[in-house]
Structure 1
Amino acid sequence: MSYQYLSSEIKLELHNILKYWSNNAIDEKNGGFLGEIDFNENKNYDAEKGSVLYGRILWTFAAAFPVTKNPEHFQLAQLAFEEIKTKFYNSETKGIFWSIHADGTPKDPKNQIYALAFVIYGLSEFYKISKNKEALDLAIILFKSIQHYAYDKVNKGYFEALTSDWKPIEDMRLSEKDANEKKTMNTHLHIAEAFANLYLVWEDKDLRESIIDILRTIDQHFIDKESWHLKLFFDENWNERKDVISYGHDIEAAWLLLWCAEISNDEELIQKYRNYAVKMADSTLEGLDDDGGLWYEYDPQEKRLIAEKHWWPQAELWIGFINAFQITDDEKYLDIFEKNLRFTKKYLIDEENGEWFWGVNADYSKIKKDKAGFWKCPYHNSRACLEVIKRLK
């Protein structure tokens, strides 16, 4: 398959994803975007709305606009920004509400640092297309809040969550499936991503030092130098709590950490993460099925595969393996991407209604979870499309 053909195919899929969100996700009743569309395309106008969803919608339409040149995409990014500014931003404490009620009032006011990171990521991307100083100023405020309240000045790294007024909180979990630990791989990965994107529009010395610091922390604690999988959960003193192998996070981190290192312009980190990108892509092969799909997780303690193939690990595989191909010139990585693309088209892309299904079970039956919602956002698959289009040039 030629690069040109692959690129045109991916451009079409990007168009389909954006079209789904443009046509279906607007909340005509309460304003902004819907908190939930279920597996059967039923819209829930009463669902709570998450700041992660909104940060990712903001990033998606802002990042897509330079490619699509569609003014509607700019307008939707503008809408997401206005909603974040007026409904999610806690101006008293300079934080972000984790969630709001459908009517726009705060529901869960805690500061989950992962959510602040995604809002920074989206605001930075929006500033690129709008030059809206209010968006940049808000991103900088949130960066300073994270540094002031969530950074561990003793042991380094970042605490997972705090109350709305930045006090310690008992339940720090990002979701019900996560371990209740103070430091997690997932949050550190997305802080690095957010800070790097902010640095592209705000070349601040302290921000660059923070990116370098977090990349060194991730290198020291979160990357297993024997298996090349990620370690997921730690207490504040960096004692690991053993958990699953997350194939999607492995391959996402493989390319994303290199991207962050390149933005930091630290040559030592760039070379290190170029090397890691290939090793982590190779370790992800353990989770690849014969059909080209990537399994969700593996539990080494129970020696048990979580035999599901979710949408987002496939999207991250596209970028991670094309990235490995770019580094090595080894076409096997491109072949893996192409095979996964065929798997994704066959089983995950909803040809009838648009967007991607949550995933499939081992027998290819659909996982009947949200089409849009708290965790089902347009960010992973639209970003995969945007990155593939850019890299295949």
Structure 2
Amino acid sequence: MNRSHELQLLSLEMQNELFRILDFWSKKAIDSEFGGFVGRINAAGEVVPKASKGAVLNTRLLWTFSATYRKTSNELYRTMADRAYDYLLDYFWDKEDGGLFWECDYQGKPINTRKQAYGQGFGVYAFSEYFLATGNKESLAYARELFALLEEKYRDPEFEGYIEALSADWQLMEDMRLSPKDANSPKSMNTHLHILEPYTNLYRAWPNEKLKERILVLIKLFQKRIIDPKTGHFNLFFDRNWTVQSEIVSYGHDIEGAWLLHEAALETDETEVIQSVRQSALKLVEVTSNEGTDTDGSVWYEKEGDQIDKDRHWWVQAEAMVGLMDAWEITNDDWYFQGLQKAWEYIRANLLDTQNGEWFWSVDDQGNPNAKEDKVGFWKCPYHNSRALIELISRINKLKI
């Protein structure tokens, strides 16, 4: 099979899978009683009654349906994006102090009013994408307001970067953790990655010089503070002055961050920055491929000390595909393309839930699906896998094949 045919087949397979994923969310995840989308569907595909609803799930739903509508012009996805947009503004938006609450109950009442920087970042990502897809200027205004809040309330003027979380009225908090598994550190790689990502998208919609400046600062922070010069991996948690507070390696974030950093650099259109970031990005893909990838093309979850968690999480496999595609585009080295093909084959064989829809949360080292984690939940969203498919389809279609 020649390369042109391989790419065309890959694009078609991924398009079909994208539509299959969104068919699940459009049919099974709608909350027809209380509005928006349900907060939880378990691994067996059963809706969990009265589950709370998270800002991460709902902003990612808005981004996903907006991005797919922008690519396909399918009116169903526009309807789903409208639904997500309205629900976010009706229930998650703080009408007194601005910004997005972290969690609402099943009826839409805020039950965790903390304001994670991470959540505000995904608001920027979602509102900017909805504007790009629909031209809704109100949505762009919300994205810009969240950008202003991140700069005013969360930015650390002394050491640079952004603190993790504030209360509803923008006060410092003792517990700033993004999730129970995270360290209670004032700064994290994860939050900075998911501020860079939405800033890049907002810049597409609003090419503002201050925004570009902040993107460049974030890129520099990743290169100088977050990427470990000895290992080539991301460090994950930091004190205010960027003292490292963790030894965990997250293979999924390494390879996701590789292409997101490159994407951000490309949007700045700064030649020296692009060239520098390409070297950083390729190193991140290289260390993930060499240290965190099995012979079947799947990527392990994380490493702490000498212990490797070899579960294959859905989002890690999705991001690995984009990271490998991006590296192939930069280098034209077929080794990366072969890695992409193996990753996709692994996903098709192991992560697609053909019985209950969507993807499994993870499979273990023996290939057994995780029957405990949700199909829909606070963190289980269609963003990673749908975005990976959208990215790959778009990149393949841009090639001269």
**TM-score, length-normalised on structure 1?**
0.98
Aligned residue for 2:299? 294
What's the CA shift for 1:92? 1.3
Task: Answer yes or no: is the 8 Å Cα contact 1:281–1:324 preserved in 2.
Answer: yes
Task: Answer yes or no: is the 8 Å Cα contact 2:70–2:132 preserved in 1.
Answer: no
Task: Answer yes or no: is the 8 Å Cα contact 1:32–1:80 preserved in 2.
Answer: yes
Aligned residue for 1:13? 17
Task: Answer yes or no: is the 8 Å Cα contact 1:30–1:45 preserved in 2.
Answer: no
Residue 179 of structure 2 is aligned to residue 175 of structure 1: yes
3-state SS of paired residue (2:366): coil
User: Which of 259-268 and 159-168 deviates more?
Assistant: 259-268
Aligned residue for 2:392? 388
Aligned residue for 2:308? 305
Aligned residue for 2:167? 163
3-state SS of paired residue (2:32): coil
Can you list the C-alpha shifts for 1:340-370, whole angstroms capped at 9, x where unaligned? 1111111100112221000111121111210
Can you list the C-alpha shifts for 1:176-213, whole angstroms capped at 9, x where unaligned? 11100000000000100111101111111111111111
Matches within 5 A, 1:215-226: 215-226=219-230
Aligned residue for 2:52? 48
Aligned residue for 2:345? 342
Aligned residue for 1:321? 324
Can you list the C-alpha shifts for 1:53-94, whole angstroms capped at 9, x where unaligned? 111000000000133321010011011111111111112111
Alpha-carbon distance between aligned partners in 2 of 1:329 and 1:217, rounded to the nearest angstrom: 28
Matches within 5 A, 1:261-272: 261-272=265-276
Alpha-carbon distance between aligned partners in 1 of 2:226 and 2:35, rounded to the nearest angstrom: 40
Aligned residue for 2:213? 209
Match 2:120 to one of 103, 112, 116: 116
3-state SS of paired residue (1:349): coil
What's the CA shift for 1:297? 0.4
What's the CA shift for 1:35? 0.5
The percentage of aligned residue pairs carrying the same residue is 42
Alpha-carbon distance between aligned partners in 2 of 1:167 and 1:193, rounded to the nearest angstrom: 25
Can you list the C-alpha shifts for 1:13-54, whole angstroms capped at 9, x where unaligned? 111111110011101121100110000111023111001111
Residue 365 of structure 2 is aligned to residue 362 of structure 1: yes
3-state SS of paired residue (1:241): coil
- Amino acid corresponding to residue 92 of structure 1 in structure 2: E
- Amino acid corresponding to residue 254 of structure 2 in structure 1: D
3-state SS of paired residue (1:125): helix
Task: Answer yes or no: is the 8 Å Cα contact 2:223–2:280 preserved in 1.
Answer: no
Alpha-carbon distance between aligned partners in 2 of 1:278 and 1:63, rounded to the nearest angstrom: 26
- Amino acid corresponding to residue 321 of structure 1 in structure 2: L
- Amino acid corresponding to residue 125 of structure 2 in structure 1: Y
Alpha-carbon distance between aligned partners in 2 of 1:271 and 1:122, rounded to the nearest angstrom: 29
Task: Answer yes or no: is the 8 Å Cα contact 1:29–1:45 preserved in 2.
Answer: no
Task: Answer yes or no: is the 8 Å Cα contact 1:319–1:384 preserved in 2.
Answer: yes
Task: Answer yes or no: is the 8 Å Cα contact 1:247–1:295 preserved in 2.
Answer: yes
3-state SS of paired residue (2:111): strand
Alpha-carbon distance between aligned partners in 1 of 2:234 and 2:69, rounded to the nearest angstrom: 33
**TM-score, length-normalised on structure 2?**
0.96
3-state SS of paired residue (1:245): strand
Aligned residue for 1:377? 381
3-state SS of paired residue (1:36): coil
Alpha-carbon distance between aligned partners in 2 of 1:176 and 1:198, rounded to the nearest angstrom: 30
Aligned-residue RMSD, C-alpha: 1.0
Aligned residue for 2:355? 352
Matches within 5 A, 1:74-153: 74-153=78-157
Aligned residue for 1:331? 334
Aligned residue for 1:198? 202
Gaps (5+ residues) in structure 2? none
Task: Answer yes or no: is the 8 Å Cα contact 2:44–2:356 preserved in 1.
Answer: no
3-state SS of paired residue (2:205): coil
3-state SS of paired residue (1:240): coil
- Amino acid corresponding to residue 118 of structure 2 in structure 1: Y
Alpha-carbon distance between aligned partners in 2 of 1:6 and 1:337, rounded to the nearest angstrom: 10
* Runs ≥4 residues deviating over 4 A: none
What's the CA shift for 1:268? 2.2
Gaps (5+ residues) in structure 1? none
